[in-house]
Amino acid sequence: MVNHGAVYADAAAQLLGEYEPGVCFFLSSPRRTLLAKGEWARLWMQPGEGSPQALSQRVNELLAAAGRTGGESIVVGAIPFDLTKPAELVVPLSAHWAGPLSFSGEDGGEAARGGEAGRGSRAREQTVPGPGYEVSMHPAPEYYKQSVKEAVRRMNQGLLQKVVLSRTLQLTSAEPIDLSRLLRNLARHNPQGYTFAVNLGGGEGGLARKAGGSAGSKSAGVRTLIGASPELLITKTGLSIRANPLAGSAPRSDDPAEDERRAAALLVSAKDRFEHKLVVEAVEAALHPFCRSLEVPVGPSLVQTETMWHLSTDIYGELADREVTVLDLALSLHPTPAICGTPTGLARETILEAEPFERGFFTGTVGWCDAKGDGEWIVTIRCAEVEDRSLRLYAGAGIVADSSAEAELAETAAKFRTLLLAMGLNDPQLAAGVSAEEGL
């Protein structure tokens, strides 16, 4: 029998401690923490069947079947960037809920508060997985810069408005990676964001290169998508919805005056505001047909993570039809210009040409949906796929006509370092190696 009782008495920290790689789904947000265990049923779809309508229908059928067993059904998992590829969605055996995660004292109170104290708390964390890494980057810095220049050339010809180009950083350790510790480190450094871990099963999956390239890890062990995203795609409760697109960013500084200067500069940057405007307009256009009312602020605001400033817009709406599910909305939004580009079709073609790897679940969406159609889905960025001793990080940058190839390369490098530090991979030689290979 499926047991989906909401156990709000469980402490969020306890749920984090109970996370078990290979059998659990974990998602913490500023509002709640979810730990789903086991697998009652799995969504199976043939390659090429993953249209938004087909995927939503199959999820509804799966939830209805689970509901007939007498339990409150919920689907959890990850949807890939490319909807023609299989999703990883399951009905778990049990789902346990708590309030938002919080840390205190030596367990990360400074990190939860952010700022200089939060950045200093890294010194207390143990490195994961240990000293000594083999590091490779795909594509190489010069290749990436040429791709950015080609994208800008197309924009100057009026063919593109924006495209997001990504890179990967592959780390191989001499020891197996401690996923539970990795997840705790990410949660500690991401108290206002969305920290997740999704079981992707075994095999190469998203770690594989495109045909003709070298394969990733050949380990038959558990493969896990893990990360700490700052970006909410969509959340729904009853008729109420909220989306929070982010686009346009700048790295923070340890110097308070410089940090303030960077934030102010980002807020008035014409390049970043244009990039952000494209995303907000696309989100508004996708949600409008579903809504009785939709509130979109005139301009963006600033939000901060421990290491980055972002332009942010909070969009609130009221649905016209209660039968519309959060997954319907997520699939109508995906992929937004924040992770693909504008126009979508041409941006997708540019990505396929420029990126010498499969994105897999990077820039997809992670979340949950219940039988009432309520739920929460986040944009799968600031993430990595982990398998045995191998860890592949992903980072992308939004390219517009005013973009500089050097600046976009530096942004991907900053995002790599941000994720490494948040994971507790604060090895000086590794950080220096990433910077050196970027030419920074």
Q: In what order do the strands lie in the sheet with 308-312?
A: 246-251, 308-312, 301-304
* Residue 229 C-beta-side C-alpha neighbours within 13 Å: 33
231 catalytic per annotation:
yes
Report the Cα 204 to chain-centroid distance in Å: 20
Q: Which backbone phi and psi does 333 adopt, to 5 degrees?
A: -85, -35
Q: Which backbone phi and psi does 211 adopt, to 5 degrees?
A: -55, 135
Whose structure tokens read 């190469």? 204
The one catalytic residue in 110, 125, 231, 387 is 231
- Least Cα distance to 376 among 242, 192, 224, 184 occurs for 242
Residue 260: strand, helix, or coil: helix
Buried/exposed code over 323-360 (b: 16+ C-beta within 10 A; e: otherwise): ebbbbbbbbbbbbbbbbbbbeeeebbebbeebbbbbbb
For residue 126, CA distances in Å to 172, 344, 424 come to: 18, 42, 6
- DSSP bridge pairs for 226: 197, 384
Instruction: Report the distance separating Cα 221 and Cα 377, nearest Å.
Output: 27
275 catalytic per annotation:
no
The one catalytic residue in 88, 110, 162, 236 is 162
* Class of residue 119 by CB neighbours under 10 A (exposed 0-12, middle 13-18, buried 19+): middle
Residue-by-residue pLDDT tens, the chain, 440 positions? 344 444 443 489 999 999 999 999 999 999 999 999 999 999 887 666 668 888 999 999 999 999 888 766 899 999 999 998 889 999 999 999 999 998 764 444 333 333 443 444 443 444 454 556 788 889 999 999 999 999 999 999 998 999 999 999 999 988 888 899 999 999 988 888 999 999 997 533 333 333 333 333 333 478 999 999 999 999 999 999 999 999 998 888 899 999 999 999 999 999 999 999 999 999 999 999 999 999 999 999 999 888 889 999 999 999 999 999 999 999 999 999 999 999 999 999 999 999 999 999 999 999 999 999 999 999 999 999 999 889 999 999 999 999 999 999 988 988 888 788 888 776 655 655 565 555 54
* Residue 336 C-beta-side C-alpha neighbours within 13 Å: 31
Residue 195: strand, helix, or coil: strand
pTM of the model: 0.87
Contact predicate 135/437, CB 8 Å:
yes
